[in-house]
Amino acid sequence: MPSGITLVGRWHAPGSSYGWLLMEGDDIEAVAEHVSEWSDSAELSVTPVIDDTEAANALTKAHGQ
């Protein structure tokens, strides 16, 4: 893992080529670096996620409630 992100875990779907990697960190450039390292070997999709508190704060800011 590049500096700035931490590997939380990896999971694989037996009998398929599917797998998931969960990383944690605030450095999106480090995520992009890691994805780039694997781009020749695998088809990757990145989905940023936030926790319930962060989502509630964003909804409050967007809707003023």
pLDDT band at 12 (very low <50, low <70, confident <90, very high): very high
Is the full-model pTM beyond 0.75?
Answer: no
Looking at per-residue pLDDT, the higher value among 13 and 65 belongs to 13
- Provide the residue type at 61 as one letter: K
25-28 own/partner pairs: CB under 8 Å, 24+ apart: 27/2, 27/3
pLDDT tens for 19-61 read 999 999 989 999 999 999 999 998 999 999 999 999 999 999 9
CB atoms within 10 A of CB 55: 11
Distance of CA 37 to the CA centre of its chain: 15
The residue range of the domain holding 27 is: 5-63
Q: Indicate the number of domains in the chain.
A: 1
Does residue 65 surpass a pLDDT of 80?
no
